Structure 1
Amino acid sequence: MIIIFKEVAVENFTNIPTAVLKGANRIELNDNLAVGGTTPSLGVLQESTKYLQEKSIPVVEMIRPRGGNFVYNDLEIKMMEADLFQAQKLGVDGVAFGALTADGDLDEDAMEQLIAASAGMQIVFHMAFDALAEDNKKSAIDWLVDHDVDRILTHGGPLTTSIDQTVDKIKGYVDYAAGRITILPGGGVNYQNCDTIAEKLGVKEVHGTKVIDGVNN
C-alpha cells in the first residue's frame, strides 16, 4: 500500500497539536472554514508557525481576505500582498491563494503580483480552481506550471457534489498535469476514503479537515 501524505486543514490553533500527534504531514492554517477558509490572524499565525516549526511540520497559510468569490479588487490584492510579506517574515512554508476574473478565467495580473510576493515559499492555487470556467482549466494548469506554482487544490466540481462523483474529473486534471504540478484532491476526502481516492487518482497527497481519524471529527 502506498503511504499517503496527509495535509490537514484546520481553523486556528485549536486542533493543531492533535493533528500533529495523530500523524498530519502538513497543516493548512485557516480562519473561518465555514466559508472555505480565510486568512488567519497574525497572532494565530505566529504561534501556529512557531509550534509547527518546533515539530518540523510544514505549514501552509490560507491567503484569502474574505469568503465569497475569488474576484478581488486592487485593495484586496494589496491586503493579500501584505499578508504574504508577513508570512515570509515568519518563515511560513507555503501559501494558498487564487484570483479569478469575473468571466471565470485566471486573473493573471493579480496572480503575478501575489506570486512575486510569495518568493521563497511554496505556492498552492486553492479551490478557486473549481470556479474557473471548464474550458479554461487546462490553460490555467499550463499557466500555473509556467509560473512555478507547486500545487493545485481541487474538488473537481462544486463542494455540494460528492467527491465520488468528481473523482473522474480530478483524474483528468492529474493526467493533463502529467507530473508538472501536484494535483491535490480535497473537499470530502476523509480518513475512511482517502486511500481509495489516492489510488484511483494515482496521487500521493490528499487534503481535508477530516483526513486523520480524531481530528476535526
Structure 2
Amino acid sequence: MRREPTRCMFSYGTVGLAPTENKTLCKRVGGSMGKMIFELCAETVGACVAARDGGADRIELCSALSEDGLTPSHGLLHEAIVKSGLPVHGLVRPRGGGFVYSDDEIAVMEQDILHMRQLGVAGVVLGLLKSDGTVDVDATRRLVALARPLQVTFHRAFDETPSLEQALEDVIATGCDRVLTSGGCADVMQGADVLARLVAQAGDRIEIAVGGGLRTTNAAELAMRTRAKSFHGSLSWDGVPTAQDVRSMVEQLRSVGAA
C-alpha cells in the first residue's frame, strides 16, 4: 500500500550508498544485521513475476495504486499466487479515501478476507482507524481473528494516527504480525529517526516493515539507520518494475545484512 502522509517531525538527507560502502557504515552502527526481507508492492501479474525473478521474499498485492491501493480482484489474486510462487499478502481495502469504516464496509472486508484465505494467500494487509484518528483496536482484532492462520499486516493508515508510539502499542494489542510505516513522513528517509525509535519500541513483539519512498539509492542507509529488517516498496517509478529493479533492491538490503 502506498500512502503520502503530510506529517513529519524529523528530516534527514537522502544519501545513496554503493554496495561496497555498506560494510563500512554497518561496522559503525553495530555489526551484522542478519537476513533482510524485501516485499514488493504489486498491482499486476507482471510485477509479481518480476518479484519472483528478482529474488523478493513476498508480495503485497493490490489494485489501483493510483488510489494508494485497493482490494485486488479474484483473478489477480489467483494469477499472482500461481505465477509468482511467492507468499502473497492481499490488501483488504474496499474503497479509497480515509480509514474509518462503516459496519457495512467492515462486513465487506470480512468477506474479502475469507475469500483470500480460500484462494491460498499467505497473509492479508489492512488498517482501520476510529473517527479520532486512533487505531480501531476492537474492529481490527476481530478481522485478525477471522484471518488466522494467515499473517496480518497493519498498513500505513498507521502513519496517520496522532501518536505513532501509542498506535504501535494499539496495533500490537490487535494481534497483527507487522506494521508498515514510513515513520509518519511522505518519505522514509525523513522518518528515519522515528522509524529507529519504533523498531526499538517494538522489540520482538511485532515486525516493523519500512516503506514509503524506498529506493535502491537509500535502502542500505535506511536499513542501517533504523535497524529494521523488513522493507516494502513498489519500485514503480517508471511503470511496472522489472526483475532487475527488484534484484538491485534485494542486493542493496542483503549486502547490509551480510556485512
Taking structure 1 as the reference length, the TM-score comes to: 0.89
Q: CA deviation at 1:110?
A: 1.7
User: By how many angstroms is 1:108 displaced?
Assistant: 2.2
Q: Secondary structure at the match of 2:245?
A: coil
Q: Name the structure 2 match of 1:10.
A: 42
1:3 deviates by: 4.4
Greater Cα radius of gyration, structure 1 or 2: 2
* 2:59 corresponding residue in structure 1: 27
Give the match for residue 201 of structure 1.
Answer: 226
Unaligned runs of 5+ in 1: none
Q: Which letter maps to 2:122?
A: D
Is 1:71–1:101's contact at 8 Å kept on the other side of the alignment?
yes
How many residue pairs end up in the alignment? 209
Q: Which residue among 109, 113, 118 is the counterpart of 1:89?
A: 118
2:181 counterpart of 1:154: yes
- The residue aligned with 2:206 is 181
Aligned amino acid, residue 145 of structure 1 = I
Q: Give yes or no for the alignment of 1:128 onto 2:152.
A: no
Conservation of the 8 A alpha-carbon contact between 1:190 and 1:209: no
- For the 8 Å contact 1:154–1:185, the answer to whether it is kept is yes
Q: Which runs of 4+ in 1 moved over 6 A?
A: none
In 1: Cα distance, 2:48 partner to 2:218 partner: 22
- What is the CA deviation profile of residues 35-92 of structure 1, one whole-angstrom value per residue up to 9, with x for unaligned ones? 211100111111212223xx3x211111101111101111110111000001111121
1:145 match: 172
Which structure's relative contact order is higher, taking Cα pairs within 8 Å and 6+ residues apart?
2
1-structure distance, mates of 2:200, 2:244: 29
Compare 122-131 and 204-213 and name the one that shifted more. Answer: 204-213
Check conservation: 2:137, 2:174, Cα contact below 8 A.
no
Q: Secondary structure at the match of 1:19?
A: helix
Aligned twin of 1:170: 195
Residue in structure 2 matched with residue 105 of structure 1 by the alignment: 134
Residues 141 and 175, structure 2, Cα contact 8 Å, conserved in 1: no
* Contact 2:89/2:123 (<8 A) preserved: yes
Q: Can you list the C-alpha shifts for 1:144-163, whole angstroms capped at 9, x where unaligned? A: 3233211000011242xx32
Cα pair 1:29 1:40 within 8 Å, conserved: yes
The letter of the residue matching 2:42 is: V
Give the % identical residues: 37
Indicate conservation of the 8 Å contact 1:63/1:96, yes or no.
yes
| Preserved CA contact (<8 Å) 1:4 1:195 | no
Query: Partners of 1:49 and 1:209 in 2: how far apart?
Result: 17
| Secondary structure of residue in 2 paired with 1:188 | coil
Alpha-carbon deviation of 1:95?
0.6
Structure 2: give runs of 5+ residues left out of the alignment: 1-22, 24-33, 236-240, 247-259
TM-score for the superposition, normalised by structure 2: 0.76
